[in-house]
Structure 1
Amino acid sequence: MMDKQLDALLHQLTAVEKVQQQTHKYVQDLPDDTIDASNDDFISLNNRHFFKNKDIYVSKHNRYAKYPLHTHQFLELNYMYSGHGVEYIDGKRVELNAGDVVLLNIGSSHSLEALGDDDILINILFRNKDIHLDLLDKLYDSDSILFNFLMNTTTKDQTEPLFIYFHKHGDSDVIHIIDTILSEYYFSRNFSNQIISSYLPILLITLVRDYQSEIMNKSKQRLNDPVMLTVLKDIEKGYATVSLQSVAKELNYNRYYLSNLIKKKTGQTFTELLNQQKLLQAQLLITSTKLPISQIIRQVGFSNKNYFYNKYQQKYGHLPTETRNRNV
């Protein structure tokens, strides 16, 4: 029953599609503060609109008009729910049929040809913080192409943008997983956001297992960096108590050398990475529990309440109480 409801919802004309169906001209439907730069040929998007109160953003691509060339600072997964589509990614023409998936890196530029009545393309946007480091570790052990792709987005050490094309071959659980994500997103219930976040690593692993993957634009330099993987895993698992000193001791590195190495590899300091993880955990507790904010601050490892509020507002654009009220 839910599948029929989802199918009907996705084929239903949106307000933008009604205009585009008549004019066949692209209609800009994003808030102005989401666009960093724009001209007739190119659009640069930021994260503001897409991740205000969600870890993952899902949308249906509007049909009947060509979508202009654009780039963004988040990872994007394009899923051809039905029909057929054509997009140009970093100058490469990619045809998508029902069941096909494309994973685009941060900084990739792409445009899409106009879609027809039954051409339903789904966009799933996420930031690389949503990729669990245990997943990367498993993929690293298997020398996966996906590991190198995802690690490149994490460390910013890539030499050129990447995208991976997954062509559907026979039956796959990928379609069921994405349909589940879509149902949770469009027919939201309690904990839907947490369920969607949990399905993301399952989706990525299943893509590797079930689909024949092709690198359409390889990086000139493979990145297999166990040191950075250790640093990121220690931050992820021990965010409340971990320190640069403890990680340096574990790796048998000089603390100042490790600090400089982290900055060079990631573009961020150890403290900045640690604060990102603490804030992520704080937001998760704020949206999924009724714990007092003061208790959450202590639980995630912040010792200064004012510092926490300042950093939280910088990251999410509002205070923790507003996050909780929005979630309710």
Structure 2
Amino acid sequence: MYKPGELLERLIPLDEDELIYKELFFAKQNKDTYEEFLRKHEDFRNNELLLVENTTAFSFCLKEENILLFDNLESNICVLKHKRYSPMRGHSHTFFEMIYVLKGSCDNIIEGTPIRLNEGDICIMSSDVTHAMSVFDDSLIINILIKKTTFKETFFKLLKDDNILSTFFTRILYTNNASNYILFHTKGDIRLHTLLEYLIWDGIFEDHKNNSDLREYLLLASFHYMLENHVDNIELPKTVDTNIPNIVQILRYIKENYKTIKLGDLARHFNYAPNYISNLIKSTTGYTFSEILIETKLRNACKFLRDTSLPVHEIAHMVGYDSNEHFHRVFKKYTGYTPNEYRTM
């Protein structure tokens, strides 16, 4: 059973591979020491993976079906410690990858753009993104590999009741953008760190076959916590509109004030012109302000209809409709049912 603090004790020492990588890393800095290294490790001379020069250019693609950890362990999630001092090679993969900086820092070059990851940072990368990791010190970087189907089921399961954020993150991670990633800055968050420690421990040191469900629950809990507590502290690709970070705050503000919010109120709150904020919302979410507002009102109305016995006219007022007749018309138009029909389904 895992004990807090034990993870670092187990991961900090260099393993056998890392010791060789480190020796090779420093040997390459001098021709004589490099030749001495090759004489000492004669079997390395023909190992292209070890002797390759550091490069961020695309070298290979890792596929789910070719990852032994996915196949042999019958697992949807693989947790690995990034091999320190290993050669930096540009690559892509057909699965999602979550990089967590457990200790120290590293450089992650995504599609040629260097991104500095510091302790506590979590970078979620979509599939088919070319990147290369640079870890040439004693930092501890954790790679969490997640099958596409599992990522969709876990990450977006959390957003199914919040279609605004779901649409936003879907567009970032699934659109045809070469730099599809989201970076969460979470340094100092002990609760999230503890959750991830348990996930890492289970993924690296426990019986993988027996604990696959536990890893998925821990990942789900971590995603949930990140979305609840760090969604305002994200960093997104520069290829995305520079105003994107504000859209998260805008969507949250709509969610919190949906009963009475008007476009003019929203624009004034964020110091934008109404036309500008309207276009920003449409371009980043794919929905207009009015569509988001109606969707939010009806989603909450559906919840009240399912979970309470309140009269329909009270629910209509609770979600921001002054007219019961107007509420009925809108509800029927968008759901295909009257409120009473929906309640009895």
The normalised TM-score by structure 1 is 0.57
Match of 1:123 among 139, 143, 147: 143
Residues 18/209 of structure 1: CA separation in 2 closer, same or farther (3 Å cut): same
Percent identity for Structure 1 against Structure 2: 20
Q: Aligned partner of 2:185: which letter? A: H
Find the counterpart in structure 2 of residue 3 from structure 1.
Answer: 4
Once the 2 structures are TM-superposed, how far is the Cα of residue 208 of structure 1 from its aligned partner?
2.2
Find the counterpart in structure 2 of residue 206 from structure 1.
Answer: 225
8 Å CA contact retained: 2:57, 2:90: no
Q: Aligned partner of 1:116: which letter? A: D
More displaced stretch, 58-67 vs 168-177: 168-177
Find the counterpart in structure 2 of residue 137 from structure 1.
Answer: 160
Match of 1:195 among 192, 195, 214: 214
Aligned-partner SS, 2:14: coil
Distance 1:215 1:102 in 2: 10
Q: Aligned partner of 1:208: which letter? A: L
8 Å CA contact retained: 2:111, 2:178: no
More displaced stretch, 92-101 vs 200-209: 200-209
Residues 195/16 of structure 1: CA separation in 2 closer, same or farther (3 Å cut): same
8 Å CA contact retained: 1:181, 1:196: yes
Distance 2:93 2:12 in 1: 26
Matches within 5 A, 1:38-187: 42-47=59-64, 48-49=66-67, 50-52=69-71, 53-117=74-138, 119-130=139-150, 131-132=152-153, 134-142=157-165, 145-150=168-173, 152=174, 157-187=175-205
8 Å CA contact retained: 1:85, 1:95: yes
The superposition leaves residues 141-162 of structure 1 with CA deviations (integer Å, 9 ceiling, x where unpaired) of: 4456434345x2xxxx534441
Q: Aligned partner of 1:123: which letter? A: N
Distance 1:159 1:40 in 2: 18
Distance 1:174 1:107 in 2: 28
8 Å CA contact retained: 2:61, 2:92: yes
Once the 2 structures are TM-superposed, how far is the Cα of residue 215 of structure 1 from its aligned partner?
1.2
Task: Report the count of equivalent residues.
Answer: 215
The superposition leaves residues 153-177 of structure 1 with CA deviations (integer Å, 9 ceiling, x where unpaired) of: xxxx534441111112542532111
Aligned-partner SS, 1:112: strand
8 Å CA contact retained: 1:2, 1:183: no
The superposition leaves residues 263-286 of structure 1 with CA deviations (integer Å, 9 ceiling, x where unpaired) of: xxxxxxxxxxxxxxxxxxxxxxxx
Question: RMSD across aligned C-alpha pairs, in angstroms?
Answer: 3.3
8 Å CA contact retained: 2:168, 2:285: no
8 Å CA contact retained: 1:162, 1:218: no
- Any unmatched runs of 5+ in structure 2? 29-46, 242-282, 288-334, 337-345
Residues 199/224 of structure 1: CA separation in 2 closer, same or farther (3 Å cut): farther
Once the 2 structures are TM-superposed, how far is the Cα of residue 71 of structure 1 from its aligned partner?
0.7
Find the counterpart in structure 2 of residue 20 from structure 1.
Answer: 21
Q: Which has the larger radius of gyration?
A: 2
8 Å CA contact retained: 1:56, 1:125: yes
Residues 97/217 of structure 1: CA separation in 2 closer, same or farther (3 Å cut): same
More displaced stretch, 77-86 vs 44-53: 44-53
8 Å CA contact retained: 2:56, 2:132: no
User: Runs of 4 or more off by more than 6 Å in structure 1?
Assistant: none
More displaced stretch, 119-128 vs 187-196: 187-196
Once the 2 structures are TM-superposed, how far is the Cα of residue 70 of structure 1 from its aligned partner?
0.8
8 Å CA contact retained: 1:45, 1:71: yes
8 Å CA contact retained: 1:139, 1:146: no
The normalised TM-score by structure 2 is 0.54
